[in-house]
Amino acid sequence: IDNNMEVKTLLIICPCLLLGSLGKPQFPEQEKEAKFWNAWAQKTLKNALALQELNKNKAKNLILFLGDGMGVPTVTAARILKGQLHGQSGEETQLEMDKFPFVALAKTYNTNAQVADSAGTATAYLCGVKANEGTVGVTAAAVRSQCNTTQGNEVTSILKWAKDAGKSVGIVTTTRINHATPSAAYAHSVDRDWYSDNEMPAEAVQAGCKDIARQLFENIPNINVIMGGGRKYMFPKNMSDVEYPNISKYSGCRKDGRNLVKEWTDQMKDKKAHYVWNKKDLLSLNPNNVDYLLGLFKPVDLPYHLERNLETDPSLTEMVDVAIKILKKNPNGFYLLVEGGRIDHGHHEGKAKQALHEAVEMDRAIGRAGLLTNIHDTLTVVTADHSHMFNFGGYTPRGNTIFGLAPMMSDVDQKPFTSILYGNGPGFKVVNGARENVSTVDYQENNYQAQSAVPLAMETHGGEDVAVFSKGPMAHLLHGVHEQNYIPHVMAYAACIGQNREHCYSSSGAATVNLAFSSIAALLTVTWLLC
């Protein structure tokens, strides 16, 4: 027993001794000085004190960045990865969202689920109403997959409120454009999986329920920018895909024979409207000559950022860049929904490297949006719909590659383990009746599936609160811990759209709006007195 204990102790201590004996400090030399930390804290304090002057301007523009499945552990790990991609240790790096002055927590549960899905949550942060899992754009009175519970239970989204107020509106996603997150912006469906009529039960079609792809074009006419995947759901069954003509699974799947893309281009022929399906055509557009853009870049979802074809597949940052340049031409401003949708897919597949690179790419897009807009008139919110059973730990030393091993062996099975682990998912593997020895596989490979505690074909969502980062007009209203459906109400209030508009015309509301009215009133009074 004593010998076994000595072996276990050495297994734990030796790697740590090795790290300590390399001679090179595991952190910057300046961090040894108290004055470094004190100066950093004082600078942060000074910035915090400046926030007492709250931005109460009217928000001309609204941008919501939604990292699908981007829980707090994902944010932290993405921060480290971003730094390490730039040759730093990573922990001290700032994500673009880290720079936002206000942070809140959102409670993500669905009306019928403790651990939420992406459809019910999308209804919350886009329509302002909590809903059942699996449903989009309807209240909790609607029952999943029951078509006859749709009518009378529809709720509208902030995208529609913005459109009705005369703003330009857009949706950009790395998933199908008719996937759960974007669909809540325009659709009313009791089933998130009704992508086209091909995926719907015959009785639902006969009862008059519309598939989500069709609703994209019919519910809110003239959405200015639509970019993502999902081509196959727009074309008649068996119609070959333009990019993959010989692959039947990517062919059109609509049973009604409609070509929704052709219908859109025909309808928009007298407007400055363009349909594109690849990066080259997208980036060749002059945004000044485009008022409407439909970009469908893949038959289903866009590829992971690490796997995309740099010649043909646009990045999220490139799509956001074009979208904002088109939308910002409207003097009334715009609303833009941006989804980093494949963070979620990477986690479901247990592929942490794919998920985290997706998160870093979304952060890059957030930075690009910041350069194209102004904090004085643009409210930008970054959040997630839900978390995942993803985490990292194991007493890793400073600068340890985020995809690397913990610096010790397990003192139970005497095998190494990666810092990143999943609570459940496809990474559960047993070799000869014991946990797989990760040192025998390439655990830094792009599609490596991190070990999980419980075997599942697909890893599940997590149930904890998610972060809500905000900057710009009225950003301070996103503070503390809130229900997720609070988010669009704040955004609408800031922009004077939707149901909260009284403050835009009264003496107690948004400063710039009231200031403008007060100035006009004063000017008229002086003019009247002089006359």
Which residue reads 């949706």 in tokens? 171
Q: Consult the annotation and say whether 413 binds a ligand.
A: no
387-388/461-462 β-pairing? antiparallel
Binding residue per annotation — 86? no
Residue 93 contacts residue 80 (beta carbons within 8 Å)? yes
What dihedral angle (degrees, nearest 10) is formed by the CA atoms of 126, 127, 128, 131? Answer: -100
- 345 annotated among ligand-binding-site residues: no
**Is 149 assigned to a binding site?**
no
Angle at 410 between CA 405 and CA 416, to 5 degrees: 35
Q: What are the residues whose beta carbons fall under 8 Å from the beta carbon of 202, sequence distance 6 or more?
A: none
What CA–CA distance (Å, rounded) separates 127 from 135?
A: 12
Query: Known binder of ligand: residue 68?
Result: yes
Q: Is 385 annotated as a binding residue?
A: yes
The answer to the question of whether 344 is labelled as a binding residue is: yes
220, HSE (Cβ side, Cα atoms, 13 Å): 30
Interatomic CA distance for residues 53 and 51, integer angstroms: 5
231 DSSP assignment? G
Is residue 118 part of the annotated active site? The answer reads yes
Q: Where would I find the H helices in 128-278?
A: 158-164, 180-183, 202-206, 212-218, 260-267
> First-to-last CA distance in the chain?
103
Question: Is the CB of residue 392 less than 8 Å from the CB of residue 77?
Answer: yes
- Residue 433 CB-density burial (10 A; 0-12 exposed, 13-18 middle, 19+ buried): exposed
Q: What are phi and psi of 228, to 5 degrees?
A: 170, -150
From the list 21, 89, 118, 248, the catalytic residue is 118
For residue 462, what are the β-bridge partners?
387
3-class SS string, 440-460:
HCCCCCCCCCCCEEEECCCCC
Is 357 assigned a ligand-binding role in the annotation? Answer: no
Q: Single out the residue of 173, 288, 168, 258 nearest to residue 222, CA to CA.
A: 168
CA distance 175 to 316: 11
Pairing of strands 225-229, 292-296: parallel
**Distance, CA of 282 to CA of 319 (rounded, Å):** 8
Spatial separation of the C-alpha atoms in residues 236 and 99, rounded to whole Å:
46
Sheet containing 102-107, strands listed edge to edge, beginning at the edge strand earlier in sequence:
273-276, 292-296, 225-229, 168-176, 334-340, 61-67, 378-384, 466-471, 102-107, 481-483
Q: Is 386 annotated as a binding residue?
A: yes
Contact, 105 vs 405, CB < 8 A?
A: no
Give the whole-angstrom CA distance, residue 137 versus residue 375: 30
Closest CA relative to residue 347, chosen from 60, 56, 68, 61 = 68
Residues belonging to the binding site for Mg(2+) are 68, 179, 181, 339, 344
Active site residues: 118
Which positions make up the binding site?
A: 68, 179, 181, 339, 344, 348, 385-386, 461
Binding residues for Zn(2+) are 68, 348, 385-386, 461
